[in-house]
Amino acid sequence: MIESIPPFLIYFIGALLLPVLRNRRLKQAVALLIPVLAFTNLLTMTTGTYWTIGFLDYDLVFGKVDKLALVFGYVFVIASFISILYAIHIKETGQHTAAYLYVGSTLGVVFSGELFSLFVFWELMAASSVFLIWYSRTKSSLNAGLRYILVHTTGGCILLAGIVMHVNATGSIEFTVFDFQPLASKLILLGFIINAAVPPFHAWLADAYPEATITGAVFMTAFTTKSAVYVLIRSFPGVELLVWLGAIMALYGVVYAVLENDIRRLLAYHIISQVGYMVCGVGLGSQLAINGASAHAFCHILYKAVLFMGMGAVIQVTGRRKLTDLQGRQLYKKMPITMGLYMIGAFSISAVPLFNGFVSKTMVVAAAGGLHRPSIELMLHLASVGTFLHTGLKLPWGTWFGKSESGEKSIPRAKEPPLNMLLAMGLGAVLCILTGIYPKILYDLLPYSVSFQPYEANRVIVMVQLLLLTLAAFWIFLDKLGGELSISVDTDWFYRILGRKLFAFCLGPLESTRSRAQSIVMIIVLRLAQISQNPRQIAIALTRGGESPPKEGAEEVEDFSTFKTPVGVGACLSLLILCMLILIGITR
C-alpha cells in the first residue's frame, strides 16, 4: 500500500500541475493519467487506518479504509476518468483544475476518519464545484452558482455547528455511527441531507446542474449527492426518518420531472428521485438495504453520467436544450450513435433487466419487502414507473423523435459529437451493461457479503410487467406527454423571493439608515477631533452651563482654534513622571 499518497492528494497535485503544462497534448495525457494513477493506488489499499497527523490534541485521519470506503472510492475514480475523457477537448484548463479539486475533495470525504478533515473536504467540494457552473459565463449560470454556493455554505455552517457541539459534548472527533437523539447529531444529519438534495432542501440541484457547463454537469452528477449518501451510510444507518424522506424523495423527483421542458433539468430531478432510493436504503438499515444503497450509488453514477453526456452532446451540437425546440427535428437520423448510447443509460436508470439499475434498485426494494414495509415498497415501485416513463420514454422521444409544432423539420448543423465524447459515453454504457449482466463484479465490492439473487423469476416478471404497462400508458397518452413551454415552481421559490426582498431591504431602508448613521457618526467624530485639539473648550463649555461660545461680535470672544497649552506644563508633567519612575526604581 502506498501510505505516503492519500487518494485525494493525487488529484490535488494533478489539479495544480495542469495549468503549468503548456503543451496541449501533454496536458490531455496527464489529465487522463491522473485517474489511472488514483485507481492503481486504490487497488493497493488494504483495510486499516492510515495517514494520521497530530493536530492540537487530536489525530487527523486521512485514510480510514474499509469496504464501504473502497466501493465509493472505486466508482468516484472511474467516474472521474469517464468525465475527463468526455471533457478532454475543452481548452479551458480552469475547468479541469476545478473538476479535479472537486474529485479530490470527494475522495477526501470518503477516506476521512474524523470530523475535522471531513468538514474541510466537505466545504472544498462546494468551493471547487461552483466554478463548473460559473464557467458557463451566462447570467443564469452566475445566479445559479451564487445560489448554489449560498445553500452549501449554509449547510456547511449547520454541519460545523453540529460537529462543534458533538465534540464539546463527547470530546471525540471520530467519524462513526452517531446517536440520533442529541441536537448535535440532528444538526450533522441536516448538514448531510442538504448535500443529498433531500426535499425540501433539494432545489439547489435542479437549479444549478442544468446551468453548469456541458462537461461540468457530468462531473457534478457523480460526486456531491453520492458523497452525501456515503456519509449517511457511515453515520446514520437505520434512522427511521431517512426511510420516509427517501421514499418521498423518490416520488418527488419523478413528479417534478413530469413538468419539465429543459432536458438537463428533467434529468436533474431524476437524480433527486434516484438518490431517494439510496437514502431510503440507509434508513432501512439492514445489511441488504445498506448493500442496496451502496450498489445503487455505484450504478447511478455510471448511468447518470451516460444520460447527462448524451443530453450534453445534443446541446453542444444543436445549441438547444428544451424539448419544444428539439422534438420533430429528426435528430435520430443525425445522431444515431448518441441516441443508442443514451438509451443504454435510460434502460439502466429504468431498472430494465440485464442493465445495472435493475441489479441495484431491486436490492433496495427487496430490503423494504423483507422488513415488511409494503407502503415503502409501493412508493419505490411507483417511482420506478415514473422514471421509465420520463427518462426512458418521454425524454428520448421528445429529443430524437416527436412531432414539431413549428415549420422547422430539421437542425442543419446537427451531427455526432466529437470522438472523445462518444468514447466516454461508450465506456460508461459498457460498464452499465457489464455490471447488469454479471452483477457479481459489483456485489463482491459491497460492504457486506451478498446472497441476493436479482434475476429470480418473480423479480424479473414484476419488473417486466411494470415496464410494459408503463410503455402502454405512454403510447396511449403520447400526444399529452410532449414538452410544454412552462416554468415549474419549486421550493427554491422561497429563498429566491426572500433573497430579492432582503436585497431590496439592504439597498433601501437599511442603506438609508446606514447613511444617516454614518453622517451622525462623522459629525460626532469631527466634533471630538476639534475638542481633542483644544481640551480647554470642555472646561469653558461646562462653566457656561453647556451654552455655545459667544458669537463673533460679542464682548468676550475666545479663539479656541488658536489656543495652545503652554510648553512648560508638558515639560513639568514629563519631569514629574520621570521622578516617580526613579523613586519606584530606588525603592525596589
DSSP state of 211: G
* DSSP per position, 195-209: HTT-TTS-HHHHHHG
Residue 482: closest CA among 398, 406, 404:
398
| Cα distances (angstroms) measured from residue 259 to each of 67, 250, 485, 572 | 40, 16, 10, 87
Q: Which cell goes with 13?
A: 497535485
| Sequential pLDDT tens for the chain (588 residues) | 445 689 999 999 999 999 999 899 999 999 999 999 999 999 999 999 889 898 888 889 999 999 999 999 999 999 999 999 999 999 899 999 999 999 999 999 999 999 999 999 999 999 999 999 999 999 999 999 999 999 999 999 999 999 999 999 999 999 999 999 999 999 999 999 999 999 999 999 999 999 999 999 999 999 999 999 999 999 999 999 999 999 999 999 998 888 888 999 999 999 999 999 999 999 999 999 999 999 999 999 999 999 999 999 999 999 888 988 888 788 888 999 999 999 999 999 999 999 999 999 999 999 999 999 999 999 999 999 999 998 999 899 989 887 766 656 777 788 899 999 999 999 999 999 999 999 999 999 999 999 999 999 999 999 999 999 999 988 887 776 665 656 666 777 677 777 778 778 887 888 888 888 888 988 888 877 777 766 666 666 666 654 555 554 444 444 444 445 555 556 666 667 777 766 666 655
Q: Yes or no: say if 13 and 67 are a contact pair by the CB < 8 Å rule.
A: no
DSSP state of 62: E
Count Cβ atoms below 10 Å from residue 87 Cβ, excluding itself: 25
- What is the SS3 assignment for 155-186? HHHHHHHHHHHHHHHHCCCECCCCCCCCHHHH
DSSP state of 327: T
**Sign of torsion, CA 74 235 452 461?**
negative
> In which residue are the cell numbers 476518519 written?
113
| Cα distances (angstroms) measured from residue 251 to each of 15, 255, 305, 386, 477 | 38, 6, 21, 8, 20
Q: What letter represents residue 323's amino acid?
A: L
Alpha-carbon span 342 to 305, nearest angstrom: 10
Alpha-carbon span 358 to 507, nearest angstrom: 53
Residue 159: closest CA among 123, 129, 125:
123
* DSSP per position, 438-450: -THHHHTTSSS--
**Sign of torsion, CA 272 274 277 278?**
negative
Q: Yes or no: say if 429 and 345 are a contact pair by the CB < 8 Å rule.
A: yes
DSSP state of 455: T
pLDDT of residue 558: 46
Residues 6+ apart with CB under 8 A from 406: none
pLDDT of residue 504: 80
> In which residue are the cell numbers 464539546 written?
168
pLDDT of residue 529: 76
pLDDT of residue 2: 44
- φ/ψ of 21, rounded to 5, equals -75, 135
Residues 6+ apart with CB under 8 A from 272: 197, 199, 202, 205, 206, 249, 252, 253, 256
Cis peptide before 396 (omega within 30 of 0): no
Q: What letter represents residue 387's amino acid?
A: T
DSSP state of 171: S
> In which residue are the cell numbers 465509493 written?
72
Q: What letter represents residue 131's amino acid?
A: F
In sequence order, what are the beta bridge partners of 53?
60
pLDDT of residue 403: 75
